[in-house]
Structure 1
Amino acid sequence: MAFEELLDKAGGLGKFQILQMVFVLPVYMVVACHSLLENFTAAVPGHRCWVHILDNATVSGNDTGILSPDVLLRISIPLDSNLEPEKCHRFLHPQWQLLHLNGTFPNMTDLDTEPCVDGWVFDHSLFSSTVVTEWDLICDHQSQKSVGQSLFMAGMLVGGLIYGLLSDRFGRRLILRCCLLQLAISGTCAAFAPTFLIYCSLRFWSGCSAVVIISNNSMLVTEWTRSQSKAMVITLVSCALSIGQMMLGGLAFVFREWRTLQLVVSVPFFVFFLSSRFATTIPYFGIFMNLQHFGSNIFLFQVIFGVLTVSVRSLAVLPLNHMGRRPTQMFLTFMVGISILVNTFVPQEMQTLRVALASVGIGCVAASGSALSVHSAELIPTLLRAKAVGLDMLVSRCGATLAPLLMTLVVYLPTLPWIFYGAFPIVAGLLILLLPETKTLPIPDTIQDVENKQRFSRKINEKDSYIKVTKF
């Protein structure tokens, strides 16, 4: 008797599965916070060069007469093409002649400027501190911010490969508990990192464990659930990730200092470690890790996108059960690509339309992730599932690693990264045609079961055709 048949006779969805879900869902929520944490801990606030006559506390009011801060700023910082103070340069000497221009603006290229050799002044109205303000990751060093984000994704890539193999060797629960402890330690230590290099190393280590916590929990929940309830259970688990996004928006709003926020989302994993005995990535991270692209209120966007994804993931159960796995995934991935590509060419002034299109894209990419999880669980036999999930995580982390790095292409063309984000899911949607349909079929335990499932699927189709003919 196959394990799933035995599970079905024993009840399939009882107290054990419910208790397992109670412990798994909070873990998923906090892991989602870690994956998207740098939306807030690495946010780039407004900034300008430090100016001696304006920002030096030892300079008295008599030194500059009765000049206001705005006037001192005008003679000290050149204006960019949008008539806003430059972020990375200042005048070599105060330009006093600018006080007598009566609203006209001279050619700034004719005036001598220099980089911000004395540092920067940051706007702390949204965040009291971030890793950007901590280590001045702006101007000539702005690319280091993307490197920090990519290292977390690279850690997920490496962790999915290594820990996937170890899970098959030593058991999923053991490796899961080790990764819970690893994420608790690395995340907590990152909150006290003295240098950016150490911070990046700890984020890499956190990524190694975060991916395994998601995959092993998902496998444990799936394998202990009968086929009739798998779509519902996997959808519920996916919704927990969306709830985590909402929770992160609220936590970031309360804790504006990056070290405090990092600590708040890391300490709970010590609790999860003690209680762990029941316990189309490029566009996804491209949108979720660039919230500032859609407007200034990233706190609200984080919560709205979380509400949206949990709603769409819940509704995805209906087409999965009625239309099938393949058409549902194809429709959702096409919608992701189309919404991003259309949004790429919408003017910046049309913020409402841009946010609406981004909401469609993020909702569809979240729902397609749930559909992919359901389909993958029904395609892969239990004997190979851990290895296959590890390989799948390896490939998906490659995409997640590339997602923030693609933003460096804006120096060549501002819309180029978003064209890539939109093209990838459309291509991926076409590849879904190569996969078999698994709706209503039991989950396979062995490779032989996969072969039998395909023969069984053909027989079912023939039987359905025969019944239709005889009724007619």
Structure 2
Amino acid sequence: MRDYDEITAFLGKWGPAQKLIFLLLTVSVIPNGFSPFSIIFVGDTPEHRCSIPGNLNLSQAWMNRTIPLVPGTQVQYSQCSRYRLDVIRSLSEVFPDPDLLNVSGIEEEPCLDGWDYSQDQYTSTIISEWDLVCDDTWKEPFATSLYFFGMMIGSGGSGIISDRFGRKIVLFGTMAVQILFNLLLTLSPSWEIFCLINFCRGIGEMSNYVTAFVLGSEILQKSIRVAFSTFGIGCLYAVGYMMLSFVAYFVRGWRMLILTLSLISLLYIPLWWFIPESPRWLLSKGRVKEAESIIRLMAKKNGITPPAALFTDDELEHMQNKQAKSVPVIQLIKSRNILVITVISMLIWMIVAIGYFGLSLNVPKLHGNDYLNCFLFGAIEIPGYIASWLILQKCPRRLSHVGILALSGGVLLIMNLIPSNHPISTVLVLIGKLGSTCAFSMIFAYVSELYPTPLRNTGFGVSSMASRAGSIIAPYIVLLGIYQENLPFIVMGVLMVFSAIVVLFLPETFKIPLPDTIDQMQNIKWCPGSQSDSTQTRINRVEMSKEEML
């Protein structure tokens, strides 16, 4: 009995129809590249100091003495306190020249009249508009975490909705959600409303990316799927990431920046008429005529004459019956092997997400130009996706992940030995970002190979939810930098080195058939032991296959 790939093999692997679908789906994820990282510029903190009312009638010399210096420095002024203005005013009446006395002993007070913000880099950010500084510093990472929480909700819900209503409608529906809430975000009258809309925006963000991933994987042939899911989608995501720095360089106000990015997303609406629904999904729903229509249209674009009858009755029945039955989530903890794999997978996904998003959101704290650094962080992802694609083709999964995670964590720990204003520090962070990107891309393929068919979607979904939890934590890892500049790098470095060690306890899956049943998982050697895991696992699966044939 032929499966779907065999039935549609006459289309070829890489004809004009497949190339067009590959291109359009990868292009559709470009907005996903700049949406999660726009907060780098929208939520950046400009240089600021306490505002001093103009009705004090102080001379310029005394105005310059109203803000205390940060202890231990001679040029850095406090951003959260000032000298008591009533005392300053009294002293100014007695001593016209402030150099005649030492003002450092005067009692300090908080910024009771707000703050003055530098506009050298930005005309406005959410920080300067709503004074999210000093005691309210926590509000910016909280708003970012809410966005990632929305992504977590979206990644879980989009799969259920797309299984019920179709891939295409969810793909474009979530595009509309992104555009709508981006536009609403520009109208936010307060920080609280901004947080609410930002959460809703995150729901559409991840749903669009995941649906494009699934749709391409179902339409394209096996030999193209790995390239699509790593090199294709990843590189265009990185293009969106790089575009952000260009747009932000010319648009310095946060509302206008988000509006501009929203207008760019509007350009993708016409793709509705060129991207087809998944024939696999249509067949699973019994919509045979629609599936045949799409397949015949692809054949026409490829210049191929399709068979008179694409499917026999037996083949249609077989494809319907082959659909994997839903398996309760509790199956992930009933088996010891599956439980261990699930726990380790969730841990790795969460740590990799912390490293990836933590490094990305920390761009404003790095030495050098923010816009150039953001561009470089996007550009470094392209070789990361290419490397992951090549590694997945040629190398064992376990040792590859160990090496990449250890390298990323190691260079971040070395950061503590180098002055933050030295250019080599930015180079090391870029290497860490390269490694985290590569690991993030590869973990998709690795996890899908670990689980048996009935649990694959469930296991993948649980692991993905763990990565979203990591992205929620990431802004607070970045916030640790207010206590010690290199502390975020130390925390992320330690976590990534730890995850490299944890990966050693996963089974090898390179060149090993995917497990089809939960029973096959009982024979997997999840901890590196005496005999080669891959060899033993292959022997077990071959023996089981022979028994099934008999």
Instruction: Tell me the TM-score normalised to structure 1 length.
Output: 0.84
Q: Which amino acid aligns with 1:150?
A: S
| Higher deviation after alignment, 262-271 or 357-366 | 262-271
| 3-state SS of paired residue (2:268) | helix
How far apart are 1:77 and its partner, in Å? Answer: 1.4
| 3-state SS of paired residue (2:236) | helix
How far apart are 1:118 and its partner, in Å? Answer: 1.3
How far apart are 1:372 and its partner, in Å? Answer: 1.9
What do residues 253-280 of structure 1 show as CA deviations (whole Å, max 9, x unaligned)? 0111100111122234444345246281
What do residues 331-355 of structure 1 show as CA deviations (whole Å, max 9, x unaligned)? 1111111111221343334x21211
Match of 1:220 among 215, 218, 225: 215
Match of 2:70 among 35, 60, 80: 80
1:332 alignment partner in structure 2: 404
Distance in 1 (alpha carbons) for counterparts of 2:96 and 2:494: 48
1:286 alignment partner in structure 2: 358
Distance in 2 (alpha carbons) for counterparts of 1:245 and 1:201: 24
| 3-state SS of paired residue (2:419) | coil
1:159 aligns with 2:154: yes
How far apart are 1:212 and its partner, in Å? Answer: 1.1
Match of 2:177 among 173, 182, 197: 182
How far apart are 1:379 and its partner, in Å? Answer: 4.8
| Higher deviation after alignment, 248-257 or 88-97 | 88-97
Cα 1:458/1:2, change in 2 over 3 Å: farther
1:237 aligns with 2:204: no
Equivalent pair of 1:163/1:390 in contact (CA under 8 Å): no
Equivalent pair of 1:219/1:386 in contact (CA under 8 Å): no
1:101 aligns with 2:173: no
Q: Which amino acid aligns with 2:99?
A: L
What do residues 360-400 of structure 1 show as CA deviations (whole Å, max 9, x unaligned)? 10011111222223334555677766544433331111000
| 3-state SS of paired residue (2:413) | helix
What do residues 264-308 of structure 1 show as CA deviations (whole Å, max 9, x unaligned)? 222344443452462811011111001122125111100112222
Distance in 2 (alpha carbons) for counterparts of 1:379 and 1:395: 16
1:97-136 map, 5 Å: 99-101=97-99, 106=102, 108=104, 110-136=105-131
Distance in 2 (alpha carbons) for counterparts of 1:416 and 1:430: 22
Distance in 2 (alpha carbons) for counterparts of 1:218 and 1:101: 67
| 3-state SS of paired residue (2:116) | strand
Equivalent pair of 1:4/1:443 in contact (CA under 8 Å): no
1:4-403 map, 5 Å: 4-53=5-54, 69=60, 71-81=61-71, 82-83=73-74, 84-93=76-85, 94=88, 96=92, 99-101=97-99, 106=102, 108=104, 110-234=105-229, 235-276=231-272, 278=275, 280-349=352-421, 351-379=422-450, 387-403=458-474
Distance in 2 (alpha carbons) for counterparts of 1:450 and 1:18: 37
Cα 1:169/1:101, change in 2 over 3 Å: same
Q: Which amino acid aligns with 1:241?
A: Y
How far apart are 1:326 and its partner, in Å? Answer: 2.8
Q: Which amino acid aligns with 1:169?
A: R
What do residues 157-177 of structure 1 show as CA deviations (whole Å, max 9, x unaligned)? 122222222233333323222
Distance in 1 (alpha carbons) for counterparts of 2:406 and 2:24: 34
How far apart are 1:12 and its partner, in Å? Answer: 2.6
Distance in 1 (alpha carbons) for counterparts of 2:442 and 2:210: 15
Distance in 1 (alpha carbons) for counterparts of 2:537 and 2:9: 21
Unaligned residue ranges in structure 1 (runs of 5+): 463-472
Distance in 2 (alpha carbons) for counterparts of 1:285 and 1:98: 52
Equivalent pair of 1:182/1:206 in contact (CA under 8 Å): yes
Equivalent pair of 2:404/2:439 in contact (CA under 8 Å): yes
1:430 aligns with 2:501: yes
What do residues 67-97 of structure 1 show as CA deviations (whole Å, max 9, x unaligned)? 5x5x344222111122322211122233545
Equivalent pair of 2:65/2:98 in contact (CA under 8 Å): no
Q: Which amino acid aligns with 1:285?
A: F
Q: Which amino acid aligns with 2:135?
A: D
Unaligned residue ranges in structure 2 (runs of 5+): 277-351, 525-533, 540-550
| 3-state SS of paired residue (1:101) | helix
Equivalent pair of 1:157/1:398 in contact (CA under 8 Å): yes
Q: Which amino acid aligns with 2:153?
A: V
The structure with higher relative contact order (CA 8 Å, sep 6+) is: 1
Distance in 1 (alpha carbons) for counterparts of 2:35 and 2:478: 20
Q: Give RMSD over aligned pairs.
A: 3.1
Distance in 2 (alpha carbons) for counterparts of 1:389 and 1:266: 30
Distance in 2 (alpha carbons) for counterparts of 1:382 and 1:238: 25
How far apart are 1:113 and its partner, in Å? Answer: 2.2
Q: Which amino acid aligns with 1:427?
A: F
| 3-state SS of paired residue (1:169) | helix
Distance in 1 (alpha carbons) for counterparts of 2:210 and 2:520: 22
What do residues 104-131 of structure 1 show as CA deviations (whole Å, max 9, x unaligned)? x9472x2022211111111111111111
How far apart are 1:8 and its partner, in Å? Answer: 4.4
Distance in 2 (alpha carbons) for counterparts of 1:334 and 1:135: 41
How far apart are 1:416 and its partner, in Å? Answer: 4.0
2:317 alignment partner in structure 1: none
1:468 alignment partner in structure 2: none
Distance in 1 (alpha carbons) for counterparts of 2:241 and 2:48: 28
Distance in 1 (alpha carbons) for counterparts of 2:8 and 2:228: 15
Distance in 1 (alpha carbons) for counterparts of 2:208 and 2:41: 23
Distance in 2 (alpha carbons) for counterparts of 1:222 and 1:449: 27
Distance in 1 (alpha carbons) for counterparts of 2:3 and 2:63: 75
Distance in 2 (alpha carbons) for counterparts of 1:255 and 1:133: 16
Q: Which amino acid aligns with 1:89?
A: S
Equivalent pair of 1:215/1:389 in contact (CA under 8 Å): no
What do residues 408-433 of structure 1 show as CA deviations (whole Å, max 9, x unaligned)? 44566554433321222223333434
Distance in 2 (alpha carbons) for counterparts of 1:117 and 1:215: 47
Distance in 1 (alpha carbons) for counterparts of 2:381 and 2:246: 16
Equivalent pair of 1:168/1:387 in contact (CA under 8 Å): no
Q: Which amino acid aligns with 1:33?
A: F
Q: Which has the larger radius of gyration?
A: 2
| 3-state SS of paired residue (1:303) | helix
